[in-house]
Structure 1
Amino acid sequence: MNDLIPLVNKLQDVFNTIGSDTVDLPQIIVVGSQSSGKSSVLENIVQRDFLPRGNGIVTRRPLVLQLVNIHANEDSEPEEYGEFLHASNQKFTDFAEIRKEIEAETARIAGQNKGISRSPMQLKIYSPNVLNLTLVDLPGLTKIPVGDQPTDIENQTRNLISDYISKPNRHVIILAVSAANVDLVNSESLKLAKQVDPEGRRTIGVLTKLDLMDAGTNALEILTGRVLPLKLGFIGVVNRSQQDIVGNKPMVEALKSEAEFFKHHRAYRSIASRCGTPFLAKTLNNILMNHIRERLPDIKTRINTLIGQTSHELMSYGDSTLEGKSNRGALILRLLTKFASDFVSSIDGTSSDISTKELCGGARIYYIFNNVFGAALESIRPGGNLTVQDIRTAIRNSTGPRPSLFVPEIAFDLLVKPQILLLLQPSLRCVDLVYEELMKICHGCGSVELSRYPRLHAKLLEVVSDLLRERLAPTSEYVESLISIQHAYINTNHPDFIGGGAAISDLVRKNERKRREFEKLNRRSNNSSGVLNVSVQSSVVSKDENDGPLVSDNLKEPGGTKDINLHNGMNNPSSWAQRESFLTYFFGSGNKTDRTVLPDQPISIRNPRDIEELEHKLEHISLDEGVNHLTEREELETQLIRSLITSYFDLVRKAIQDTVPKAIMHHLVNRSRETVQNRLVEELYKEELFADLLQEDENLTNERQKCKTMLEVYREAFEIINEAM
């Protein structure tokens, strides 16, 4: 039993070497307000003046006080001294120096103001006058900040105390110090203790200043447990007065005066044997030993669990002792093979850790092909950037100085080729997106073991990135050539191309449909107003994007008469009957008087200046100058060209949408996945690189060393407990 407290002290020393509080050791936590006499109680137990004194908060850091009893020798009195954990190589025989060291170390950690710190300070005192005991002195509770104390000093102190006394598994005994000359209901220490120990099973009360109570009053009912029942009870003590402290009254005399007080006090003499500092020290010694004995099996189990967890963590860091080139070579080969395998499996969708939250790997490449690239191609409107004047100019330019009998095929080539080039940019962007996705897959590969070697990991990423960049250029060139191939030869004999005859027939059907629509409109208008005046003015008709002119934007109702401008005269049955067939008109020698384009009109010259103006205009001449309307033939030519462009562009778009993803898969994706492992082996499996590539991450090395130290500490603690049990 007497060895249990030194046992816990040993465990405390062992755990302090790593600064770990993973094991809650049995402790007695001293709690009290600033004016409760808490420091005096501790000094009486030690029988030495060693704690700082003054106004406000004096104890500003948790002080772990280990008292070690040393037996007196027959020949000489043993030397009393103290040792600090932060200065383990220094022995303090002068207790005044111990006080100065506490003040200096507190100021170093907690600052020069009156703020507090959670960092504990450990002091071990060896003396024949103490019992084996471990106490933790906490900052005193305060209400009002003093001087340069933080404004929330009360909350800081309460939170610190609560953290210590509410530790799990109830490994803590609470020593609640209260002044007897203050109403017990106002005791801050007892209030905090009751919050974490409502049944009072692990709280022991200490009443100080019994000699300062008002005349005729006493604390007998409190000390006997009739006011506030605590399982461990209340113990009364009488500390030195301020005058005794100033006068350096010896501790021995102070303890004698305390004993005389209880022995001769009329209210306390019946319980004098259960009062005073010696009884308090003995009681705390017994309580702590019993508490340790009760909690020791739990501590052993906890340490055993920590040994298992730490051993597993240490294994995850791997073995740092790689001796010989063969071992290093085998490790590098295994790691780069695993990296290549992860890269390929991510593309193929066979990885073991596939995400269920978002698309990843090869699925994202499919999304690029099907959704992104497909939508980009579909968004292109064939001929959307061509105006009527662009088409007319191309037709006229392709005939040279001669008038045309037919719509020249060269004009179609001139107009459709730029449309094909619109597919180039989305196709090259598709290549870039897949390349970027492969780079993301590459950077997402790597195991926990590989993270130990940052240089090897960086080299793996560098080699694969270089491989992907090498494949990017030929892939882009091939995709660009696919567009160039389509641009190089316009195959109007393609079986799916609409062709000239079919395009004309389609125009005839559309015009007939529009004629019927206007006849319906005509009948509705006759029914409503009784008059319908239809005038054919092709120069002011509105244009439908694909089908040509529909209805004029100018619907007039002068005097109740509606003027509706329909399509061209061919939609008028009477006009149709008076003309040649549609095909003969379109491809034949239509009446030239119908053409109102500026270059075909006779020019009236009135004076030499008119000739100069015409010569100046000739430099920038366009077909829209002087033209107020299109002839019927020009309208049909424009519609025909648009129809042919749309038909041919759709053919090319389908071909590109099919071949570009195939080209990317062949030249970029498949070539990369098939050659990645060979490239890694070729570039990195070299003996002269082994030492550099297998240099571990410094942080990981530190974590492994820390883990090793903790494992050694836990094993040492386990051996200490085994020896004691």
Structure 2
Amino acid sequence: MIAARHKEREYFATSPEYSHLSSKMGSEYLAKLLSKHLESVIRVKIPSITSLINKAIEELESEMDHLGRPIGVDAGAQLYTILELCRAFEKIFKEHLDGGRPGGDRIYGVFDNQLPTALKKLPFDRHLSLQNVRKVVSEADGYQPHLIAPEQGYRRLIEGALNYFRGPAEASVDAVHLVLKELVRKSIGETQELNRFPTLQSDLAASCYQSLERFREDGKKTAIRLVDMEASYLTVEFFRNLPQEVEKGSNTAVPTVDRYTEGHFRRIASNVSSYIGMVSETLRLSVPKAAVHCQVREAKRSLLSLFYSQVGRKEAKQLALLLDEDPALMERRVQCAKRLELYKSARDEIDAVSWAR
């Protein structure tokens, strides 16, 4: 090829017919013309080419963000990756509880609807029926109205009624527990970074559920303790004021009450019912506080404490198992990285040529 072009140049330079046009003849001259034309066309197209390359780079970077960055091979990098993923999950979970995302409001539904409804459905009418009141009072060990504290009949009726509050208190704690479990499951699904690691998702969920079980046990103990506190100490002032309430509006002395008449038992049932209503209102406000303090508050503060302690004891191989990925996903990431590198290199070269000119 070099020899042919050399002969071509020699021919046009020595030929009488073309010697005066030798500088504008031959394949070399034609190549220069075509090169200049191509260069002008490319120069016009450079902005659109650059725009196309930048768009491809943005798409590849977006896909790389979706696929996730490559994971380090050493244990420190793997542990750091796991902790970062846990922080992303915890952020979403707290947003559900604090109102940034939907779902946490269901906890208020437990306290505003479920608990009051359960309290209203308690069978106090049967417990305070005339027949049961007569039976309990008659079987009580003595009847001593001179005592400041409620007599034995009152105490037995009240303690028996207060036992009914255990069910709604435990049910409220269980309902909050179910809401928190659902929020954990939902938050894991909404944490895009976790989608790459099914094993980590499974272990994280299991650890969170284990922590929530512990919070539920604490919540139940506290709620039942509140009920037992009401049964252990009866509000004396309430019963001290009952005679004044009975005599209110009467200017005459109240005759001696026959303790075995139907009206007497009805008045006992009414007094106990009023006291139970007061306790019910107290528990309606205090049981939610116990659930929030022992469950919701602890879930926000230390939901992942158990998981962190478990991860901290794992070896490098165990950490790698938590961060296992789909091989197809890993191959896709490698291909995207290669294409991204090529596009960035092309963009840099075009920019260098553009600035040079």
In the superposition, the TM-score normalised over structure 2's length comes to: 0.68
RMSD (Å) for aligned C-alpha atoms: 3.7
Please show how residues 215-294 of structure 1 align to structure 2 within 5 Å: none
The residue matched to 1:586 in structure 2 has which SS?
Answer: coil
Answer yes or no: is the 8 Å Cα contact 2:94–2:300 preserved in 1: yes
| CA deviation vs aligned residue, 1:530-583 (integer Å, no higher than 9, x gap) | xxxxxxxxxxxxxxxxxxxxxxxxxxxxxxxxxxxxxxxxxxxxxxxxxxx773
| 1: CA distance, partners of 2:243 / 2:278 | 18
Write the letter of the residue equivalent to 1:455: T
1:695 matched to 2:324? The reply is yes
Residue in 2 aligned with 1:586? 257
| 2: CA distance, partners of 1:345 / 1:315 | 22
**Pick from 337, 347, 361: which aligns with 2:97?**
347
**Pick from 191, 197, 204: which aligns with 1:460?**
204
Residue in 2 aligned with 1:504? 246
C-alpha spacing 1:301/1:679, structure 2 compared with 1 (3 Å): same
Answer yes or no: is the 8 Å Cα contact 1:337–1:677 preserved in 2: no
Shift of 1:699: 6.0
Residue in 2 aligned with 1:106? none
| 2: CA distance, partners of 1:582 / 1:346 | 63
Residue in 2 aligned with 1:144? none
Answer yes or no: is the 8 Å Cα contact 2:258–2:264 preserved in 1: no
C-alpha spacing 1:702/1:369, structure 2 compared with 1 (3 Å): farther
C-alpha spacing 1:385/1:697, structure 2 compared with 1 (3 Å): farther
The residue matched to 1:648 in structure 2 has which SS?
Answer: helix
Shift of 1:306: 5.7
| 1: CA distance, partners of 2:306 / 2:151 | 52
**Pick from 112, 115, 118: which aligns with 1:376?**
118
Calculate percent identity across the aligned residue pairs: 22
| 2: CA distance, partners of 1:321 / 1:409 | 72
Answer yes or no: is the 8 Å Cα contact 2:230–2:279 preserved in 1: yes
| 1: CA distance, partners of 2:332 / 2:123 | 61
Shift of 1:405: 9.3
Residue in 2 aligned with 1:542? none
Residue in 2 aligned with 1:122? none
- Which protein is richer in strand relative to its size? 1
- Which protein is richer in helix relative to its size? 2
**Pick from 168, 178, 191: which aligns with 1:426?**
168
Residue in 1 aligned with 2:294? 667
In the superposition, the TM-score normalised over structure 1's length comes to: 0.36
C-alpha spacing 1:487/1:478, structure 2 compared with 1 (3 Å): same
**Pick from 132, 137, 148: which aligns with 1:395?**
137
Shift of 1:707: 5.9
The residue matched to 1:323 in structure 2 has which SS?
Answer: coil
| 1: CA distance, partners of 2:79 / 2:212 | 26
Residue in 2 aligned with 1:626? none
Write the letter of the residue equivalent to 2:83: L
Shift of 1:641: 0.9
C-alpha spacing 1:458/1:699, structure 2 compared with 1 (3 Å): farther
**Pick from 186, 192, 196: which aligns with 1:448?**
192
| 2: CA distance, partners of 1:405 / 1:672 | 50
**Pick from 85, 98, 109: which aligns with 1:367?**
109
Shift of 1:307: 6.3
The residue matched to 2:261 in structure 1 has which SS?
Answer: helix
Greater relative contact order: 1 or 2 (C-alpha under 8 angstroms, separation 6 or more)? 2
| 2: CA distance, partners of 1:321 / 1:481 | 49
- For structure 2, the 5+ residue unaligned runs are 1-45, 347-357
Answer yes or no: is the 8 Å Cα contact 2:247–2:254 preserved in 1: no
1:482 matched to 2:226? The reply is yes
Structure index of larger Rg = 1
Answer yes or no: is the 8 Å Cα contact 2:173–2:291 preserved in 1: yes
Residue in 2 aligned with 1:317? 67
C-alpha spacing 1:585/1:448, structure 2 compared with 1 (3 Å): same
1:651 matched to 2:271? The reply is no
The residue matched to 2:72 in structure 1 has which SS?
Answer: coil
| 2: CA distance, partners of 1:477 / 1:429 | 12
**Pick from 458, 473, 496: which aligns with 2:217?**
473
Answer yes or no: is the 8 Å Cα contact 1:464–1:680 preserved in 2: yes
| 1: CA distance, partners of 2:84 / 2:71 | 17
| CA deviation vs aligned residue, 1:122-148 (integer Å, no higher than 9, x gap) | xxxxxxxxxxxxxxxxxxxxxxxxxxx
Answer yes or no: is the 8 Å Cα contact 1:374–1:657 preserved in 2: yes
Shift of 1:665: 2.1
The residue matched to 2:294 in structure 1 has which SS?
Answer: helix
Write the letter of the residue equivalent to 2:281: K
Write the letter of the residue equivalent to 1:458: S
The residue matched to 2:303 in structure 1 has which SS?
Answer: helix
Residue in 1 aligned with 2:306? 679
| 2: CA distance, partners of 1:458 / 1:480 | 33
| 2: CA distance, partners of 1:395 / 1:326 | 71
Aligned residues: 291
The residue matched to 1:449 in structure 2 has which SS?
Answer: helix
Shift of 1:645: 0.8
| CA deviation vs aligned residue, 1:141-185 (integer Å, no higher than 9, x gap) | xxxxxxxxxxxxxxxxxxxxxxxxxxxxxxxxxxxxxxxxxxxxx
C-alpha spacing 1:649/1:437, structure 2 compared with 1 (3 Å): same
| 2: CA distance, partners of 1:320 / 1:651 | 62
Shift of 1:343: 2.7
